[in-house]
Amino acid sequence: MKPKILLIDDEEGIRKLLGISLRDAGYPVSIASDGERGIALFQEESPEIILTDLKMPGLDGIEVLRRIKAMSPDTEVIVITGHGEMELAIQSLQLDASDFITKPIHDEALFVALRRAEEKLAMRRVLKHYNEDLKNKVREATEELKKNFALQEKLLQSSLDAFIGTDREGKIILFNQSAQSLSGYTVEELQGIPDPLVRLVPEWSAFVSQAIQGQEIGRINNQCLIKRSSLFCKTRE
């Protein structure tokens, strides 16, 4: 289906000729005789492409372009220029007009400009669909990761073995119930102690340092922290 076009021009002859050409080509067309009426029609009907003359009494084409782009940046605006109005045409392109055509208007130039505008609209729709699809996939992947992390957290917290995990700064981020029972410490108590594993159990210093640096250290077999001592103990069988 062809995109809807809003034609804005103060010259009746141009409005009639362009209206006939556009409708014959299958475009639905709305027509306004000045900039103010054009803006009102745009707000009422939301056409995808605007054809506007640059030189009009009252609200000229440059101001029409500015207002439409402010309301709807994705709308394609093609400006119609007269002889000797190249500076205005360049200004309109700087304001993000899709293209410009010059008077007298030939159908070939008109439809080339319209085809370019339609290609931009189509590309924008493809990009929008792609971005929405990408956002949905990221959202789904994030939810799946959250579920996996929640399951892992549940398994670790309910394990009979003691699990203690730290971040790269040595801050404890995992201290399951078995670790609390075996050590006598709560999570809150350990979070208030700088470098808790290194400070309370000096023998673990090298292991913790290597772990923070991401090195492979194997397992510290069946050893755990005991509150107010530097002893090690066996984990639960």
CATH number at residue 122: 3.40.50.2300
Tokens 């984990």 belong to residue: 235
pLDDT at 216: 42
Same domain, yes or no, for 123 and 168? no
Asked, for residue 218, whether it belongs to a domain, the answer is yes
Asked, for residue 136, whether it belongs to a domain, the answer is no
For 112-162, how does the pLDDT look when each residue is reduced to its tens digit (9 = 90+)? 999 999 999 999 889 988 888 899 999 999 999 888 888 888 887 888 877
Asked, for residue 137, whether it belongs to a domain, the answer is no
Same domain, yes or no, for 117 and 15? yes
Query: Which segments in the chain show pLDDT lower than 50?
Result: 198-200, 203, 211-212, 214-237
Which domain does 92 fall in, by range? 5-129
Same domain, yes or no, for 182 and 121? no
Asked, for residue 11, whether it belongs to a domain, the answer is yes
Asked, for residue 66, whether it belongs to a domain, the answer is yes
pLDDT at 235: 40
Asked, for residue 146, whether it belongs to a domain, the answer is no
pLDDT at 28: 96
Asked, for residue 92, whether it belongs to a domain, the answer is yes
Stated pTM of the model: 0.60
Question: Identity (one letter) of the amino acid at 10?
Answer: D
CATH number at residue 224: 3.30.450.20
Domain count for the chain: 2
Same domain, yes or no, for 174 and 61? no
pLDDT at 227: 40
pLDDT at 195: 60
pLDDT at 51: 97
